[in-house]
Structure 1
């Protein structure tokens, strides 16, 4: 086996995994084999080959166990395996708990800090937030112990601290401790140095949680940087998630009143979504973006109503297409209602009040089903009823208009910001 070409270090990670049986039985230098397996596992993770990375890391652990590797080295290998399994989306406590147990018997605080940080993350993923906080606390204590003696290791520990803060933030969020959760997640997102697609995805997900929580508290300006971080972190390979991230950034701008800033982002998202006609998520993104464009064009004085009406019709048609395809999510129904409102507003700008009645009726019917208990949708319902009343008046249907307007006055007054 020693004379086989190419050398182990030149074999691609997936090919190395395929050749693992012969390597384990015939390779003359198991220490060297372990090092190459560990390096190849890291290369595979960076390349986004998560399954290959886990397989190689597991082989590295197996090699060390066969040759009786020193405990600190085995703890490092187990921590790496546990981290890769967690990042793949299949958290397994066994290697992380073994790594933590080994470190408890050794004076290896760096390895211990890493193992406990990822053990905390895995415990959160397994819906054990209380246990996760205990693991993270131990990781943080070990990190502080290292830095007291070797402050020059701070850069080395920075990714571990970011992961500990991310796990702590997720655990606090699961326990309903929102202010703490936002603080820790913000620290993690701002300090993270993701090296692999899986790590970038975890950071993007943490940033997304911050955006959603900040928007729920009506703090769109504070949410914007995290929306941008989420988009940037995803990079290539997560097209759908990146598009949804851009939707969230647009929401931030709209909630902050930045209509002019949101408009080019919406137009760019429309073009992006049009390029993927076969993906239902992108079709939903396109429908939502067209409805937003239909609403914004008149407000920005870029259209007298004709182009906005065209976009509103297209949005409604795509929502109908989604419903026909069996996509019955509430957001599709309420999104269609919002698109119908945008279409009706554009038609009224064109003086086509009678044509606006039908989409307004459809919007009212939908919103009456979904608005109870939802302040934002109640605002849309009030707006739809007022618009329908006005359209009926302009169309010569005064009696029905009076009844519709009466229904509008019975709703709690809600100020509805642009979408």
Structure 2
């Protein structure tokens, strides 16, 4: 056999080995029985593909949801821990939820849940469509039939990352969630980049991303259009960074609500910057219930722009309550509003509202370079301040009337 033939055979062997080795680490849902026509149920195929991916100890195994196909998937729990240190789920196609709410007979908390998986990356430029219309119509939060008999107070979040430390979610579209689009719960270290959240403006309780009991989370370079908070930062969240995002329509970037039912809130080191708020109900907001306890501290809102926003800067310690009687409150302190400018919807002339508790004052508030003007020229804007202590470090428009000296 000539040397050229030997080299050719050797090259074929090497290329075949590389192909097989790489294929071993990729688990295409089609190989596990998925149809991908958007009609037949592919849930079991997805779970089988996940079991194989999570059970592969070599390299960075990948579960692949291929492009140009639509997969109908019911409620599914993708559970770890996995054998490999890092795992990828690449979604190139479209995943759709069942149209009927009856698919959630047992657990209505979540549609797609990633549970206890270290080093998980979910990406792929695909679409996750929760098709939540049936849930919106029967929601108790729907103003058309609020609290009517038969309404549901709990709807499934589209995607839930639970205990998924050192994780990443990026380059995806999530739309039409029944309730929250993405929830980050009970985790330490998670990054969200280039996510497009999209639901109609009138959909109830459809927060873009909600955090609770998390540390060291970054949410960046993303677009939010929904019927509720673009980002809501819940209890026991710390070192959360939200930056370089578009928000609107929606209810702004909110911390809270905190202190419901007299609970002890623990929220600190929340930093929000370079957000474009467009046509939102709120901009930078902190909301707490009366009777709560604990703290919300070390918060910054900075370098952001508002376009026709109803309530650009807002602290509300009487959330969902008209009762003036208070016994306790979440203590809000060390909140900085810096370099915030734009226009406010004149339906609410109070562009800056600091409605702090009557029994526990807000302290350590700082205001610097705030310039808010009415979207309709000629309208006078005002501020509303209650039991708030702080300092004005630079120009603030409209003027802060009633801000007490720092204590």
User: TM-score, normalised to structure 1's length?
Assistant: 0.29
Which structure has the larger Rg? 1
Give the number of the structure whose residues are more often helix, by fraction.
1
TM-score, normalising length: structure 2: 0.30
Higher strand share: 2
